[in-house]
């Protein structure tokens, strides 16, 4: 039933459309799925505000490029290939950079939800800090890392959080599907971006 599921229901539905019949990653459906994950991040409140604004900014950057020529940029990697040829891919405001950071932030979230499934006894802070150290930390400078540690003190109570995101769905099953379905897309992005 629509609207009955957990906060993951919309993104799980969206993931079915991320690839073309030829198995190519489509720009708009991929960005839409990332957008549908933002409400989940909202539920963390202030703890993940930095992560959320980062993700939002990178989605906007990629969407703006896509909107400039939806036909040309129908496939997610077409913008990247164009920048690589133009030698602008390494620029900090490039779409290549945007996709890289968007993918890294999504890795962090997948890892975080995996932790919540696997380590039922961990606090939210523990789950967040562990995912952070496995994913984003190595790319962050000292300042970003310290901001993150401070933000973690604002992490919501785990049980309350789980209740909020569950809705009427089976939250553990949804988290599991989210992680297992979304991870291969992220892995593919990394592979391409290398």
Contact by Cβ (8 Å): 29, 14 = yes
**Has residue 68 got a pLDDT over 80?**
yes
pLDDT tens track for 69-80 = 999 999 999 999
pLDDT of residue 1: 39
15-52 pLDDT, tens per residue? 999 999 999 999 999 999 999 999 889 888 888 888 89
pLDDT of residue 7: 86
- Could you report the per-residue pLDDT of 117-151, keeping only the tens digit for each? 999 999 999 999 999 999 999 998 888 888 888 88
Mean pLDDT for the stretch of residues 164-170: 81
Q: State mean pLDDT over 151-171.
A: 86
């Amino acid at each position: 039933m629509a609207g009955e599921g957990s906060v993951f229901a919309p993104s799980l539905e969206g993931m079915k459309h991320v690839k073309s019949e030829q198995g190519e990653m489509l720009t708009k459906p991929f960005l839409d799925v990332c957008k549908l994950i933002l409400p989940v991040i909202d539920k963390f409140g202030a703890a993940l505000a930095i992560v959320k604004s980062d993700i939002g900014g990178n989605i906007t950057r990629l969407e703006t490029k896509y909107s400039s020529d939806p036909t040309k940029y129908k496939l997610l990697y077409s913008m990247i290939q164009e920048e690589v040829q133009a030698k602008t891919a390494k620029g900090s405001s490039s779409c290549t950079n945007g996709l890289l950071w968007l993918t890294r932030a999504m890795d962090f979230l997948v890892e975080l939800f995996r932790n919540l499934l696997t380590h039922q006894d961990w606090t939210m802070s523990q789950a967040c800090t562990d995912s952070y150290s496995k994913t984003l930390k190595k790319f962050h400078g000292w300042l970003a890392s310290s901001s993150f540690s401070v933000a973690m003190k604002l992490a919501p109570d785990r049980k309350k959080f789980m209740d909020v995101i569950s809705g009427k769905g089976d939250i553990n099953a949804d988290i599991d599907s989210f992680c297992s379905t979304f991870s291969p897309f992220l892995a593919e992005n990394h592979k391409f971006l290398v």
